[in-house]
Structure 1
Amino acid sequence: MSFDDDAYGALTDHADDARWAYGTGFADPLAGVPTAVPDGVDRAGLATYCLMLGDDALVMSHRLQQWVTRAPELEDELALANIGLDLLGQARLLLTRAGEVEDAGRGEDALAYLRDAGAFRNVRLAERDDDDFAHLVARLLVFSCWRLALLDRLAASRDPVLAAIGAKGVKEVTYHREYAAQWVVRLGDGTDLSHQRMRAAIDAILPLAGELFEPHEVETRLAAAGVAVDPSLLRPEFDAAMTQVLDAATLSSPSGPAAPTVTGPAASTVTGRGRDGVHGPELTEILAEMQELARALPGGVW
């Protein structure tokens, strides 16, 4: 855009910008990718798996968007908005794939806006509210370390759509992990106060990581078919990445590894797993906000 351009006209002058935030001029990242379900793959299981990964991204994206205007600096508000948009893009692709595979007439909008909390399959880490900015970056670090390892393996999926989503997502989530890691180190190795708050955040978030590595029956079955990723195999890579960051942030535990292995359900007043549709009141609050307009105007188009 030059200074002689009309400001309003510039809104549609996007020939050189494939990442326009509102989708104008957006090139389909999956154009040309075969969409047929691989032979021998259970369609219902594949649809559920796409919902799992799509819901993770959708709910986490919404939580990040809530930090716009609340972050310490304008630069961080923009960074968090961009990370949220990346995850929203992943959610759109995955929910679209889920709708295509289940073949029940539900598209991405119906899956995002017309399901109740019990029908969502996201891990509970994604829906957790953040006490402060330290909790946000700690949660983003854990989420990104886990999701990056997952997407990297998903790029080899027998399902061509999941493979394409995984390959695209690796580039995005690499930045997400880097951003979160920089802030964890900055706060952990900063003042006494910032160190204390970062320590408290890490201690609160790490117990929630256990759920990320507990295979669901659908994940186990599809992993055996070469379609999904067995989350239990991601733990060593996750631990190595977390240890490296927490060591640099002077947050390693003196009595054990920096990223302790957590087994059993995540620490919460709610028992059960998000993958099974068990969620806390946080998700109900998120959906009330996110779905309000779509439910108030059924079938509305804008």
Structure 2
Amino acid sequence: MGTLEWPLVVFTVVGEAAIGIVLALWWLDRPKADSALDSALYKKATLVSGGLLVLALVASLFHLGRPEYAYRTLSHLDSSWLSREILFFLLASAAWLYLFVQARQSQGKRRLAAGLTGILGLLGILSSSMIYVLPRVPAWDSVQTPLFFLLTAGLLGGLVLLVLGQKALNAAQSKKLLQALAVIVLTSFLSFLVYLSMLNAAGPEGMSTVQLLLNSPLFWLRVVTNWLIPMLLLLPLAWRKKALNPTWILTALIAGGLGEFLGRALFYLTAVGIQITAMK
């Protein structure tokens, strides 16, 4: 059974949420006047993403044994996913500063800045996930690991933007974002079912991970918060002609956020026979 380091959980989940907000901004914003996002919303969402990114980076320092020597890891870019993770998150942070400037300009290149920040952030998220794709850990050694990390970014980033833009998003933008979120939640749930079936066929260690999950109350709490509640709240709004309900959206964000933290904690705890600190 693995170990749990909350700074690592906070760094990954919060960092992914920050990048998810930026990607949602880039995806929804269009040059056409009737498709462009509200300027005030854009600025607000950019600031929130920056605040979350700072929080994630601060949390990462508590995970490092000697944070003052973190720069040394950059000398192993050719062989270390950890080095690439640090590099891409630093580059994404620098690109966010450019996005911050452009978001405050009336006719700035904000979509270009959001795209650049989002791409660098995605590379950082993928690098984070690849640290854990290890043949000796069946619970991690599959495409499901990077998929889980990316789905967290999509779900939390989209939900945060939806909460921030309840009044500023037009009907078409809200519907588009809701439908994307519904697809993300369904994909997350179905991919986890596939993940469990793969683990059951992955030998004793994989089966042990399944047993750890199914016997954990935290897992069933995650099922409710991460999948059941968001699906019940988002699906009716996404494909039926229902008015956007602020309470439903906020509840989906709170439940989904809790579920993602639980899911990431379980991700580390169910690493059978592996100590997390030995990997980085």
TM-score interval, smaller chain: 0.3 to 0.5
Greater helix share, structure number: 2
Q: Which has the higher contact order (CA 8 A, sep 6+)?
A: 2
Q: Calculate the TM-score normalised by the size of structure 1.
A: 0.37
